[in-house]
Chain A
């Protein structure tokens, strides 16, 4: 119970076209992440699905019903916002119950659902507090709880972790993943952070400049990106792009992920000098200025001692090298 179809949705603000024809199918129970750089239209798309923005053209279909003209409250959705957006004058309990109360749900049923949601998110001790008395992480859990009690067909998350600090972000990410597993609900999640996208998603939708660049599972996007944009966006540190002409290749651009390069002090394909080394413990990132390839990043697993100024040879793994044509698409 909770499929979503987006058919040729376009959205323009005056002369500015933010969404240039989006087609997307989300199956029941899927966790779909919209990812892309800021300004790519991912939040606008989420707002169109929620009904907070009207699309200029196209249809939004939830569970087989066209909801393009339905107000947000009647779409069977719930949304979690980046800024939590809790009602400041209501207690945690009333914050969670307000939507149901507006819909005329009986008090006993509201009570029951708040009980379930608050135990799921360990919010019981805070039910009588106001949002001002809670920490950031607790507030975001309340916001998630407010979505859970509505038992929606579709959960919408708009960058829910962006306002949390790093440690809390990892915890909350885990909670959202567990929540998805327990509820088996359809969830749509917007983020600009590709780590969140990779760790949470069943299916990632990469957006750029109002268009879908590629749809696929996390590993699919990592292993076989459709074009240069997706290849550069998925994976951290970012993929190295080298001008094909400088390497004597026919392709316009050659792409190698930092983890698919090996280094050797004596021999290899690309000779370069170490510019900077980042020691992260579990792995080491080396920045090499190569004669042929320019500035590249190499990720080495484990500790590797390299002083800036030292000469190293980097060799790409030929099986994991991507070739891109002039239009940015992968050459097979």
Chain B
């Protein structure tokens, strides 16, 4: 049985391909982290070698922590990402539930309309968004960023979640209705736990662009108070002189929170608790 799928050359080949891909994918990240621990001369002299006792230097990290209010930037980024993520998942799931569960006139048109944002980049509307934020006095607030990112994340969330919610057993929802559960209870207690893996997928897809975004923080909230990490790192990027140590250190630090969030969500991808509920 195992001869067909487990020949040695095949295994070696598969691993070689996977390992090559892993190296290519991780190379830039490792390069950044490696060089963030080196002195300026070390970075320029031999960018590809790991830090040696001679080139090892924490100057980047001390600059980042000493200069600029980096802890505060981190806090801003986290607040914006977590709040937008929460709103995207909540409203996305609710809209998806309505689209997949209820028959009403214009259901599929509404679905198309809500998914339109996947095809049209939100940045096309930057000028209008800026005018809107100026008019409503939200410029230089985190609320502005949260609102924009919620709008940016919703289309994909609605699209993916409504597909998954269609697969949740109708019988289960109907059993809840017969037992007298409200539609909200059915949504939060019966349906959401069953689509948790897809919620995690949506969370990962939504979170990374928000965390990494430079465009909207630069335009809508560039004040010292509301700077995000990506915007804060620009501090070290000058027209004539660039403080590479500090930039690399800032970027290495910026990877951490998003990595932690990813680990949290990917644990949710493991199904199991929910299997066996129906059938």
Contact of A72 among B178, B193, B273, B279 (CB under 8 A): B178
Q: A-facing mask of B134-165, CB < 8 A → 1, else 0?
A: 00000000000000000000000000000000
* A189 vs chain B, min Cβ distance (A): 16
Q: How far does the alpha carbon of A25 sit from the alpha carbon of B269 in the complex, in Å?
A: 50
Q: How far does the alpha carbon of A88 sit from the alpha carbon of B169 in the complex, in Å?
A: 12
Does A99 lie within 8 Å of B178, measured CB to CB?
Answer: yes
Let me know if B274 is at the binding interface, CB within 8 A.
yes
Name the CB-closest residue of B to A156: B178
Does B180 lie within 8 Å of A83, measured CB to CB?
Answer: no
Chain B residues within an 8 Å CB radius of A78? 178
Let me know if B172 is at the binding interface, CB within 8 A.
yes
Does B276 lie within 8 Å of A131, measured CB to CB?
Answer: yes
Q: How far does the alpha carbon of A76 sit from the alpha carbon of B240 in the complex, in Å?
A: 79
Q: A-facing mask of B242-279, CB < 8 A → 1, else 0?
A: 00000000000000000000000000000001111111
Interface band, chain B: 20 to 34
Does A77 lie within 8 Å of B178, measured CB to CB?
Answer: yes
Q: Which of B156-185 contact A (CB under 8 A)?
A: 169, 171-172, 174-181
Let me know if A183 is at the binding interface, CB within 8 A.
no
Chain A residues within an 8 Å CB radius of B172? 83, 85, 87
Tally of contact residues, A, Cβ under 8 A: 30
Q: Which of A219-261 contact B (CB under 8 A)?
A: none
Chain B residues within an 8 Å CB radius of A1? none
Q: How far does the alpha carbon of A87 sit from the alpha carbon of B169 in the complex, in Å?
A: 11
Q: A-facing mask of B186-216, CB < 8 A → 1, else 0?
A: 0001100110000000000000000000000
Does B278 lie within 8 Å of A83, measured CB to CB?
Answer: yes
Chain A residues within an 8 Å CB radius of B194? 88
Q: How far does the alpha carbon of A88 sit from the alpha carbon of B176 in the complex, in Å?
A: 12
Q: How far does the alpha carbon of A99 sit from the alpha carbon of B174 in the complex, in Å?
A: 12
Does A52 lie within 8 Å of B177, measured CB to CB?
Answer: yes
Chain A residues within an 8 Å CB radius of B277? 86-88, 131-132
Chain A residues within an 8 Å CB radius of B171? 81-85, 158
Name the CB-closest residue of B to A90: B189
Does A85 lie within 8 Å of B180, measured CB to CB?
Answer: no
Q: B-facing mask of A132-161, CB < 8 A → 1, else 0?
A: 110000000000001000000000001000
Taking A84-B278, A88-B276, A89-B189 as contacts, is the C-beta distance between A71 and B169 under 8 angstroms? no
* A312 vs chain B, min Cβ distance (A): 46
Q: How far does the alpha carbon of A86 sit from the alpha carbon of B173 in the complex, in Å?
A: 10
Name the CB-closest residue of A to B275: A132
Q: Which of B169, B178, B275 has the most CB of A within 10 A?
A: B178
* B237 vs chain A, min Cβ distance (A): 50
Does A88 lie within 8 Å of B274, measured CB to CB?
Answer: yes
Taking A52-B174, A79-B174, A83-B278 as contacts, is the C-beta distance between A73 and B180 under 8 angstroms? yes
* B265 vs chain A, min Cβ distance (A): 20
* B32 vs chain A, min Cβ distance (A): 43
Chain B residues within an 8 Å CB radius of A121? none
Taking A83-B278, A131-B276, A131-B277 as contacts, is the C-beta distance between A88 and B178 under 8 angstroms? no
Q: How far does the alpha carbon of A158 sit from the alpha carbon of B202 in the complex, in Å?
A: 35
Q: How far does the alpha carbon of A266 sit from the alpha carbon of B101 in the complex, in Å?
A: 65
Q: How far does the alpha carbon of A73 sit from the alpha carbon of B174 in the complex, in Å?
A: 10
Identify 20 residue pairs between A and B in the complex whose beta-carbon atoms are under 8 Å apart, listed by A's number.
Answer: A52-B174, A72-B174, A72-B177, A73-B177, A81-B171, A81-B174, A81-B175, A83-B172, A83-B279, A85-B175, A87-B190, A87-B277, A88-B276, A89-B273, A98-B179, A99-B178, A99-B180, A131-B276, A132-B277, A158-B171
Residues of A within 8 A of B (CB): 47, 50-52, 71-74, 77-79, 81-89, 98-99, 102-103, 131-133, 146, 158, 163
Residues of B within 8 A of A (CB): 169, 171-172, 174-181, 189-190, 193-194, 273-279
Sorted nearest first, the 7 A-B pairs with minimum C-beta distance are A88-B277, A73-B180, A132-B276, A99-B179, A85-B171, A102-B180, A81-B171
With A52-B178, A85-B174 given, name 4 new contacts (CB 8 A): A73-B177, A73-B180, A85-B169, A86-B277
